[in-house]
Structure 1
Amino acid sequence: MGTAQTRGVFGQPTDHSDNPEIDTAEALAGLAGEQATARLINRYSDQAMIFHGLRLPIKLRTDIDHLIVRDNAILAIDSKFWSVGTYWSFGDNLYRGLAKTVTPTAMTQAVNALATMLSVPNHQCSVITVVHSKHDKARIAKSAFKLSQPVIGAPRAPTFIDQWVADHPGEPSQRLARKLLNIFRKGASR
């Protein structure tokens, strides 16, 4: 068995155009957010494994938008492109202005499934939602970072990711890299 690649970029941002519940305008906006996040995290490709559009080879509708794997720890990033406004949370609910909106949680379920497949403890896995908007005008209150799947605005994402990378020095183990690459190949074919 050869040496598995433990650094580099795997996959591409997806537009979710294969989802009948998403119209073309939503798909294009979502792709813009995914591409922006990809540009942000691809700069770590010489230090980590970076995955875009990771589909798990199981019956789960959610793919993992972005994944950074370093030092046997996983940071999953859910990319969103949201309307301009102020987003904040109260309890487990997310609001835009005074209106309750959808709280992102599906990515956490996918990451929990991935952690089980990889035999990685849940405390080694983190999930965040990075929100992009037109001209970065969506304001994300600090309270939204306290959700079970924290939400941050795109302008704050580089600082958060830089700190996460610094907190997890080193490359993934060969075992973890092999498992991830196998999941990536199987998921791509489904």
Structure 2
Amino acid sequence: MDGPEELTVMSNEQYEEMLSGRGRHIAPTEAASRTDGVSFASAAPGWDTVKFTGKDRRGKVVPTRVGNSVLGWKHFSGPHNITNPDVVKKIIGGTSNPTTSRDHPHRLVYGGALVATGGLLDPPRKIADIRIIVQYHWQTADRRYSLSDRNAKIGVITAYCRNVPRNRCPDKVNQA
């Protein structure tokens, strides 16, 4: 390595673009680099209060709600150790084609990575494989949670790192 290691969070699409040589440095999208939070009222927010939003490359606005122990920010920030909103924003913002399934058409899966890059001669190295699960519908698949506005989206259900103990991301993910 001919320089200090640099850590970056990016979508899987951005990672593939970097590996294919289409760009050594991937510029974050506007949506991925924004840090606009939502101000909370003085009362404690409900599960459905939007904490922040991201926007994917196709223009889908994806909220992350305060949530509770089952879904949203409170669900994943502690147990899965993703405490930096920019991690979620960068992965969503760098993705144009989240995966879906025929069985769950409103479930979007955004994939990303914590990547270490060194000098010009060192190849990028994936440190963590990150998944973000989104319910892009006004109610959850099990119908336990719903929004009064049927045009609104539940948003991020969970975010986690794969292939690590307890799906808990390394601390480095929040520093990138």
Pairwise same-fold verdict (TM > 0.5): no
Structure with the largest fraction of helix: 1
Q: TM-score, structure 2 length as denominator?
A: 0.33
